[in-house]
């Protein structure tokens, strides 16, 4: 298996944008990450655990979390190969989060394929998610090329990241269970920061910078950048589920409405709609509605409240301020430019 340094050196020229960075390296980085999924000591362990988890992980999307971990390591002058186990750990945590999240949401489709709990059964899917969670710390602790002090610091980051994500998930699930429609945009931002921004932005960047030998100001600047851009990423994901052109062709288009998710768009709309429209939107969100015409009606209500534009503008403001702060602390380099381009890609996916 190629190392990340060999993978990055294989190109004639560095990628011109973050989107090109993802497109060029996602598959190879996915293969690298999946090397950390072990094999069983009994054939049925593979059948009921390792093989379906590996298949699930191979359908892994853009791999932006490991790729930004590598970029942060290089942005502070470090050797990206040293960040491989941490990058893999965060990606496997992401796998665990998706498996468990789909069970909690009673979702049916993930990345164009039936959810794991539907193909393998609830019990086995939970077990696979649990295994992916163990890989989050195990890959780093068993890494033969990281020194012990760095391992301890990185694992501490991963433990805190796990706690923050679970806290955010508790808010998300609890609000849905209790049919809470009094959630404010400020409440949503706390939930999304905990549930998504730590593991999708802040911790991959902080771990990369720690492993790369970055100064404390560099580590914290990259962490802060990851929090802001990770939150913007989640807001844009919520918007794409409602109005994304590519997403409109997929089976899970507007599934956030079916699942009654309290997104920034939804909570803003509930605060700004008139009483009749607010009650209608609550009715749709509460009914697990799948009819495309009714889902479109819900989107129209949110648009009428100015909520889609509100969320889009909020994400753009987040990334604009985050880029300015990053430039103040991290020295110019091609990897830093790549991370700066990431913010533009996050908020440009709807344009």
pLDDT (tens digit, 9 = 90+) per residue, 68-118?
999 999 999 999 999 999 999 999 999 999 999 999 988 899 988 999 999
pLDDT tens digits, 219-264: 999 999 999 999 999 999 999 999 998 888 887 899 999 989 999 9
What pLDDT digit, counting tens, does each position of 256-305 carry?
A: 999 899 999 999 999 999 999 999 999 999 999 999 999 999 999 999 99
Q: Confidence class of residue 350 from pLDDT cuts 50, 70 and 90?
A: low
pTM listed for this prediction: 0.93
Residue 351 has pLDDT above 60, yes or no: no
> Which residues, 6 or more positions from 290, have their beta carbon under 8 angstroms from its beta carbon?
258
Q: Whose CA is closest to 178, among 286, 80, 276? A: 286
Question: What sign does the CA torsion over 245, 247, 251, 257 have?
Answer: negative
Give CA torsion, residues 198, 200, 206, 210, to 10 deg.
130
Cα(316)–Cα(211) distance, integer angstroms: 30
User: How far, in Å, CA of 104 to CA of 328, rounded?
Assistant: 41
Q: How is residue 195 written in tokens?
A: 């549930």
d(CA 221, CA 163): 21
Nearest Cα residue to 34 out of 11, 50, 22, 45: 50
Residue pair 65/203 in contact by the 8 Å Cβ criterion = no
């Amino acid at each position: 298996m190629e190392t990340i340094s060999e993978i990055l050196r294989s190109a004639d020229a560095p990628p011109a944008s973050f989107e090109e960075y993802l497109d060029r390296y996602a598959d190879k980085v996915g293969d690298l990450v999946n090397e950390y999924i072990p094999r069983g000591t009994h054939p049925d362990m593979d059948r009921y655990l390792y093989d379906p988890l590996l298949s699930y992980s191979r359908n892994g999307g853009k791999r932006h979390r490991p790729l930004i971990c590598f970029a942060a390591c290089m942005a502070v002058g470090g050797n990206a190969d040293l960040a491989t186990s941490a990058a893999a750990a965060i990606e496997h945590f992401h796998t665990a989060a998706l498996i468990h999240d789909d069970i909690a949401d009673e979702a049916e489709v993930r990345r164009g394929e039936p959810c794991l709990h539907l193909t393998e059964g609830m019990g086995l899917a939970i077990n696979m998610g649990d295994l992916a969670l163990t890989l989050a710390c195990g890959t780093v602790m068993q890494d033969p090329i990281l020194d012990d002090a760095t391992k301890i610091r990185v694992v501490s980051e991963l433990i805190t990241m796990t706690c923050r994500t679970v806290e955010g998930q508790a808010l998300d699930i609890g609000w849905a269970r209790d049919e809470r429609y009094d959630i404010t945009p400020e409440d949503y931002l706390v939930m999304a920061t905990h549930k998504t921004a730590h593991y999708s932005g802040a911790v991959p960047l902080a771990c990369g910078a720690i492993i790369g030998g970055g100064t404390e100001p560099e580590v914290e600047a990259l962490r802060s950048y990851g929090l802001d851009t990770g939150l913007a990423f989640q807001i844009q994901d919520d918007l794409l589920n409602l109005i994304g052109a590519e997403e409109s062709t997929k089976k899970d288009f507007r599934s956030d409405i079916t699942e009654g998710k309290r997104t920034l768009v939804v909570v803003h709309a509930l605060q700004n709609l008139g009483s009749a429209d607010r009650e209608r939107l609550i009715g749709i969100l509460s009914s697990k509605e799948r009819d495309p015409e009714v889902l479109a009606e819900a989107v129209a209500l949110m648009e009428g409240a100015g909520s889609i534009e509100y969320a889009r503008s909020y994400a753009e403001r987040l990334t604009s301020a985050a880029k300015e702060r990053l430039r103040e602390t991290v020295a110019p380099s091609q990897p830093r430019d790549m991370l700066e381009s990431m913010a533009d890609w996050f908020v440009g996916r709807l344009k």
